[in-house]
């Protein structure tokens, strides 16, 4: 009789432990990629915006670092709430979460392009 016929305590523990580890297929799913992209984008926007404001407002490095951290945390919190709403009802909240990095870049590039006057654009 082999050890595969009757799972012992070690096999049961290993099977239970493997159920807690997410598979690579679930980590690489399109939905998780979209949620992680949303977290990264919102955190970076908060980080850059608060970093620029802190450079103008504060003189000391500690205050600047604190303000920049507050901005990054605010961006992460905002994205976390958006992701939570999306997971509760994906069909209703589909427009909140970006589809891909390329679509977000093109969307913001169009906004910037519309702000530049026609005489200043490269042809």
- The answer to whether residue 16 is domain-embedded is no
30-57 helix and 61-88 helix, angle to the nearest 10 degrees? 150
User: What CA–CA distance (Å, rounded) separates 42 from 49?
Assistant: 11
For the chain, what is the domain count? 1
In a domain, 52, yes or no: yes
Write down the mean pLDDT value for the chain. Answer: 80
Q: What is the pLDDT of residues 53-72, one digit of tens each?
A: 999 999 999 999 999 999 99
The 10s digit of each residue's pLDDT in 91-118 is 877 777 888 888 888 888 888 888 877 7
Q: Is residue 65 in a domain?
A: yes
Looking at the domain assignment, is residue 49 inside a domain?
Answer: yes
Residue 3 maps to a domain: no
Residue ranges in the chain assigned as alpha helix (H): 9-20, 24-27, 30-57, 61-88, 101-115
Instruction: Give the contacts of 53 (CB within 8 A, at least 6 positions apart).
Output: 67, 71
In a domain, 37, yes or no: yes
- Residue 64: domain span: 30-115
């Amino acid at each position: 009789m082999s050890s595969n016929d009757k799972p012992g305590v070690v096999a049961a523990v290993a099977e239970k432990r493997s159920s807690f580890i997410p598979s690579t297929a679930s980590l690489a799913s399109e939905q998780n990629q979209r949620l992680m992209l949303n977290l990264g984008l919102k955190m970076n926007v908060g980080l850059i915006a608060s970093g620029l404001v802190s450079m103008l407002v504060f003189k000391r490095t500690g205050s600047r670092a604190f303000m920049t951290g507050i901005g990054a945390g605010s961006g992460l919190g905002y994205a976390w709430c958006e992701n939570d709403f999306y997971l509760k009802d994906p069909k209703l909240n589909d427009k909140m979460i970006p589809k891909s990095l390329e679509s977000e870049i093109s969307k913001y590039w169009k906004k910037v392009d519309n702000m530049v006057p026609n005489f200043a654009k490269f042809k």
